[in-house]
Amino acid sequence: MARDNIRNFCIIAHIDHGKSTLSDRILELTDSVDKRTMEDQILDDMELERERGITIKARAVTMRYHADDGKEYEFNLIDTPGHVDFAYEVSRSLAACEGAVLVVDASQGVEAQTLANCYMAIDHNLEVVPILNKIDLPSADPDAAAKEVEDVIGLPCMDAPRVSAKLGENIRAVLERVVRDVPPPQGDPDAPLKALIFDSIYDSYKGVIVYVRVFEGTVKPGDTIRLMSTGAQFQLVEVGHMGATSLTPCDKLEAGEVGYLTASIKTVRDTRVGDTVTLASNPTAEALPGYRTVTPMVFCGIYPADGADYPDLKDALEKLQLNDASLSFEPETSAALGFGFRCGFLGLLHMEIITERLEREFDLDLITTTPGVQYRITLTDGTVEIIDNPSAYPDPARIAKQEEPFVNAHIYTPNEYVGPLMDLCQTKRGIMIDMKYLDETRVDLHYQLPLGEIVYDFFDAIKSRSRGYASYDYEWEDWHESKLVKLDFLLNGDLVDALSLIVFADNAYAKGRRICEKLKENIPRALFEIPVQAAVGGKVIARETVKAMRKDVLAKCYGGDITRKKKLLEKQKEGKKKMRQLGTVNLPSEAFTAILKLD
């Protein structure tokens, strides 16, 4: 395909504004999927994505489009995730495109991630093509939404296509805009190869499949490629284009194209998203500018419920990391839980998704410890340590200064919810920076907030205090000096290291008490009484007691029904499997997650 007839674009939007639905319609209209195999949101093929109705992984598809000008175009569409945790994936997709279709829900207008994603696209020098979606809704007001896009983002929008992705109305107009407004790719097919890895997946038949955008040069099967960050070399087996549901091999990929490569790449660590691929025989001198490095913001320990599964867990984490460069992990040991990994995530949703995938796709039973953030601690001898693990917390006598991470958060909300949202930010120790009106009724609240206070449930809290109308977005701000303490928990007198937390000193007492209550609810009774205690620096600050057990499970079915007895015994066995012996106490893995859901 001539370069002039190629369009590489992605779709960006605030969550739920209709990206995935629009992608489906575009796939249908370009006959990229068989009508019979068409399912809703076909790009979201991960089981988990379907269940949660969100797009987690960016996916790319090559399509053919017969435009009104009579020519045939090759479209490479890259679907992107919309949740605040996955901004990194959005950034990777953008670097492979020349344009972005910005979907705005005409009944909602501009939301936090509409703006955040749009600015990211502009930062990558993409042509942004706005469209107004959901015009079929009675509450849709496309004129008002268009005006908001013009006022808030400064993007001309009055003549933007007005579509209903759900009903398939006016989809061609979107594709005509892509042809007209998104520039064709540049690049010289005869130059040394420069291709950007923007995604990769592990396939049990083909091995590692690498998704690339070729910027310069040509690549074909048989070539020896070199990955520039490591210098590793591989012989290419296959190149081709991604269809919606299959891969189609072709004889070469040229400058401007998006496609995939397979080689006998076995070690998953070799393909780094953001890396540049070149040819060993005629290498380029300079790598493409990499992506901004992702910094995990939330950390927790992940342990196999059965210690024998440790190698499987390691293998599974390595495989997931191939698909998700933002996941980090390193081995750690806990006196209570044995061998496991300290893992870093972009946010809490990211953490939940990874642990769920580990359990489902790799059939692992896991125990996850309470998530926390990083702290910067300066010792009295002047050394500075960054710690993400409470077990590494130094002796308080050696600490000179403690700092915790803060973020810049923007909350977009109708003005009637400003009061409750300001209260919320206040209880989270937020510092108000300013408040701007987006239009007569909508406000941008700008706060600096401690990351440690917002990682757990801030998103839900914002939604519930604004009846779902507010949205938010945040980015790293800076370290702020803070008063911190390590909060420990003792079960039957034994310290359980895996339960320890670093908390803001003034919150230690309240937190300690709440967590003791939660633990008490979740620890099954034993034949003896179990004291549950919270302590700071060896001093107990809260206590609950799990009463001793009186009856066994079968006591309540007198004689009679054998199937019921069996069921109860089954249940008990099931419970035991998930239980972890901590010293003298059995702790169910639910106890760890229960601590999370405190508010």
Q: Which residues are annotated as a binding site for GTP?
A: 16-21, 133-136
The secondary structure of residue 493, as a DSSP letter, is: T
Residue with smaller CB distance to ligand GDP, 164 or 374: 164
Q: Tell me the closest approach of the beta carbon of residue 20 to ligand GDP, in angstroms.
A: 3
Please work out the total of residues on this chain that contact ligand GDP, with binding judged by CB under 6 A.
18
Name the one range near ligand GDP by CB under 6 A: 14-22, 86-94, 178-186, 341-349.
14-22
Residue with smaller CB distance to Mg ion, 53 or 249: 53
Please work out the total of residues on this chain that contact Mg ion, with binding judged by CB under 5 A.
3
Residue with smaller CB distance to ligand GDP, 177 or 486: 177
218: nearest Cα among 250, 182, 264, 265: 250
- In this structure, the dihedral spanned by the alpha carbons of residues 163, 167, 170 and 174, taken in order and rounded to 10 degrees, is 60
Name the one range near ligand GDP by CB under 6 A: 9-17, 228-236, 425-433, 583-591.
9-17
Distance from CA of residue 117 to its chain's centroid? 15
β-strand partners of 386: 376
Residue with smaller CB distance to Mg ion, 46 or 298: 46
Which of Mg ion, ligand GDP, none has residue 300 at its interface (CB below 5 to 8 Å by kind)?
none
d(CA 111, CA 442): 10
Q: Tell me the closest approach of the beta carbon of residue 337 to ligand GDP, in angstroms.
A: 36
Strand ranges (E), 179-245: 194-203, 207-216, 218-219, 224-227, 233-242
d(CA 459, CA 466): 11
Question: By CB under 6 A, what part of segment 560-579 binds ligand GDP?
Answer: none
Return the SS3 of 205: coil
What phi and psi values does residue 468 have, to the nearest 5 degrees?
A: 85, 0
Residue with smaller CB distance to ligand GDP, 164 or 218: 164
Return the SS3 of 55: coil
For residue 82, state whether it binds ligand GDP (rule: CB under 6 A): yes
For residue 357, state whether it binds ligand GDP (rule: CB under 6 A): no
Name the one range near Mg ion by CB under 5 A: 52-60, 174-182, 304-312, 362-370.
52-60
Write the interaction track for ligand GDP spanning residues 27-56; mark x where CB under 6 A is met and - where it is not.
Answer: --------------------------x-x-
Cα-Cα end-to-end distance for the chain: 56
Rg (the chain; Cα; Å)? 27
Are 399 and 409 contacting, i.e. CB atoms less than 8 angstroms apart? Answer: no
Name the one range near ligand GDP by CB under 6 A: 12-20, 57-65, 322-330, 514-522.
12-20
Selected from 3, 52, 147, 166, the binder of ligand GDP by CB under 6 A is 166
Selected from 43, 77, 110, 165, the binder of ligand GDP by CB under 6 A is 165
Q: Tell me the closest approach of the beta carbon of residue 55 to ligand GDP, in angstroms.
A: 5
Q: Tell me the closest approach of the beta carbon of residue 12 to Mg ion, in angstroms.
A: 11
Residue with smaller CB distance to ligand GDP, 472 or 489: 472
DSSP run (H or E) holding 421:
helix 418-427
d(CA 488, CA 398): 19
Residues 6+ away with beta carbon under 8 Å from 267 = none
98: nearest Cα among 217, 190, 186, 176: 186
* Residue whose pair of structure tokens reads 């890895």 in the numeric block: 197
Residue with smaller CB distance to Mg ion, 120 or 579: 120
CB closest to Mg ion, residue no: 20
Residue with smaller CB distance to ligand GDP, 83 or 194: 83
d(CA 254, CA 370): 48
* Residue whose pair of structure tokens reads 């369009």 in the numeric block: 7
Q: What angle do CA 110, 115, 118 make, to 5 degrees?
A: 120
For residue 109, state whether it binds ligand GDP (rule: CB under 6 A): no
Residue with smaller CB distance to Mg ion, 55 or 218: 55
Name the one range near ligand GDP by CB under 6 A: 11-19, 290-298, 341-349, 442-450.
11-19
Binding-site residues sit at 16-21, 133-136
Q: Tell me the closest approach of the beta carbon of residue 14 to Mg ion, in angstroms.
A: 11
Selected from 11, 12, 20, 62, the binder of Mg ion by CB under 5 A is 20
For residue 137, state whether it binds ligand GDP (rule: CB under 6 A): yes
Which of Mg ion, ligand GDP, none has residue 21 at its interface (CB below 5 to 8 Å by kind)?
ligand GDP
DSSP run (H or E) holding 452:
helix 451-454
Name the one range near ligand GDP by CB under 6 A: 16-24, 30-38, 259-267, 509-517.
16-24
Write the interaction track for Mg ion spanning residues 54-93; mark x where CB under 5 A is met and - where it is not.
Answer: -x--------------------------------------
For residue 57, state whether it binds ligand GDP (rule: CB under 6 A): no
Distance from CA of residue 357 to its chain's centroid? 12
d(CA 300, CA 355): 11
Residue 11 carries which side chain, given as an amino acid letter? Answer: I
The secondary structure of residue 228, as a DSSP letter, is: T
Name the one range near ligand GDP by CB under 6 A: 63-71, 130-138, 245-253, 583-591.
130-138
Residue with smaller CB distance to ligand GDP, 134 or 241: 134
d(CA 492, CA 533): 8
The secondary structure of residue 548, as a DSSP letter, is: P
The secondary structure of residue 93, as a DSSP letter, is: H
Are 193 and 259 contacting, i.e. CB atoms less than 8 angstroms apart? Answer: no
For residue 19, state whether it binds ligand GDP (rule: CB under 6 A): yes
The tokens describing 387, both together, are: 């710690």
Site residues for Mg ion per CB under 5 A: 19-20, 55
Q: What residue ranges bind ligand GDP (CB under 6 A)? A: 13, 15-21, 53, 55, 82, 133-134, 136-137, 164-166
